Amino acid sequence: MSSGLTRLFLALSAFILVLTGVAAAKDSSDRHYLAIQEQYKLDYKDSKFDVAVQQLFPTFVQAKRGDTFRVERCISCHVPDLTIIGPQRAAERLAKDFLKYEPKHAEIAKTYGLTLTHPATITQQLYDKYGEDSYATTDGFHPYTIAGDKPGTVDTVKLPGFIPKFLSPAQNNGRELGLDSVGCITCHNGGRLSLTDSESHLNLIINPEFTWTEGASLYYKYCATCHGGLGEGKIGPPLANQDRLGYFNEDYYYRCIEYGYTDFEHLGSVMPAWGSAASDFHYDPTRDKQPGKVTRVLSEDQISILVQFIRHWEKYETLP
């Protein structure tokens, strides 16, 4: 081998070694879940499970695509022994651990109306309130209305709930499916295969029931006239678009709503700024269709709730 080639070979080998080293270091620094599992074992001394990545395979048929199962790893950190202790005890621990491990629990609980009673199974009552058929019930959603196409008219919107029909007791021979068979993302969204806090909580819906009703009341008051009664789009683009929902994260949606036409992505559009003006915004009367002065209409918390409401339109079945 010529010395030039040898040097090239050595350089390449060294480069590959460095890459492997970086990957290994990243892998061990990302293993925050191991510490959480150790803590869990201390908190629940009777728990029996391997300290390792825990995977949950939802058991309903729609969770299978061909030969591959849909897997989620939320339980690596939350109730890692879910399949042993069952849904009822798991639901209790989810609320208890939230108080113990989440430093900002009081603030989060206040913003997202947490009751600290976690559902354990999809009961008929829960499905009647938040299921796909829930617009038909009297104790479910209010009938939401939106201005009709003719001036002075209003249309009633039938907003279907977020729990898919195939999880209802009626479709499962009357059986109430538990957390161990439906998994977490059917209600919470989030990065289902990730094992780091930030990546797994990306696009997370914190309190699905609360954001669905609270978010809906904000949405029908401020947004539906332009984005459509079911997020299908009108003057504004559709918000129920699965490709965009799967592509953009919380931060993007938050910025769209907070800054509207004052942010670079929406300059010159009619999308109002519901919070504040982007820091680099300069009013240009030839471009802007709206006044340069922005007054806050929605609080930061309300915008976050709206983002989570929009996230509910992301369909479980179409997640990657």
Closest Cα partner for 271 from 255, 284, 260? 260
Report, in Å, the least distance between residue 98 CB and ligand HEC: 4
3-class DSSP state of 97: helix
How near is the Cβ of 201 to ligand HEC at its closest, in Å?
6
Q: Which residue ranges make up the site for ligand HEC (CB under 6 A)?
A: 32-33, 36, 72-78, 82, 94-95, 97-98, 101-102, 108, 114-119, 122, 179, 182-188, 190-192, 195-197, 200-201, 204, 206-209, 222-223, 225-227, 235-237, 239, 244, 253, 256-257, 266, 269-272, 274, 306
Task: Give whichever of 229 and 272 is closer to ligand HEC, judged by the CB atom.
Answer: 272
Q: Are 127 and 169 in contact (CB under 8 A)?
A: yes
d(CA 143, CA 217): 10
Task: Decide whether 21 or 102 has the Cβ nearer to ligand HEC.
Answer: 102
Cβ-contact 181, 166 below 8 angstroms? no
**Nearest-approach distance from CB 171 to ligand HEC, in angstroms:** 15
CB distance 202 to 74 below 8 Å: no
* Choice between 2 and 117, CB closer to ligand HEC: 117
**For ligand HEC, the closer CB: 102 or 301:** 102
Question: Residue 183's closest CA among 57, 81, 78, 33?
Answer: 57
Q: Name the minimum Å distance from CB 8 to ligand HEC.
A: 41
- Closer to ligand HEC by Cβ: residue 70 or 78: 78
Q: Give which of 149, 162, 168 is closest to 216, Cα–Cα.
A: 162
Task: List Cβ neighbours of 209 (8 Å cut-off, separation of 6 or more).
Answer: 129, 130
Please state the closest distance from residue 154 (CB atom) to ligand HEC, in A.
Answer: 16
A 10 A CB-CB count for 319 gives 18
Gyration radius (Cα) of the chain, Å: 24
In sequence order, what DSSP letters do the residues of 287-306 get, joined into one string?
A: T-SS-S-----S-HHHHHHH
Distance in Å from the first CA to the final CA of the chain = 47
Please, what is the minimum distance in Å from the beta carbon of residue 41 to ligand HEC? 14
At closest approach, how far in Å is the CB of 80 from ligand HEC?
10
Residues 6+ away with beta carbon under 8 Å from 34: 51
Distances (CA, A) of 173 to 166, 176, 222, 299: 11, 9, 41, 44
Least spacing, CB of residue 281 vs ligand HEC, in Å:
14
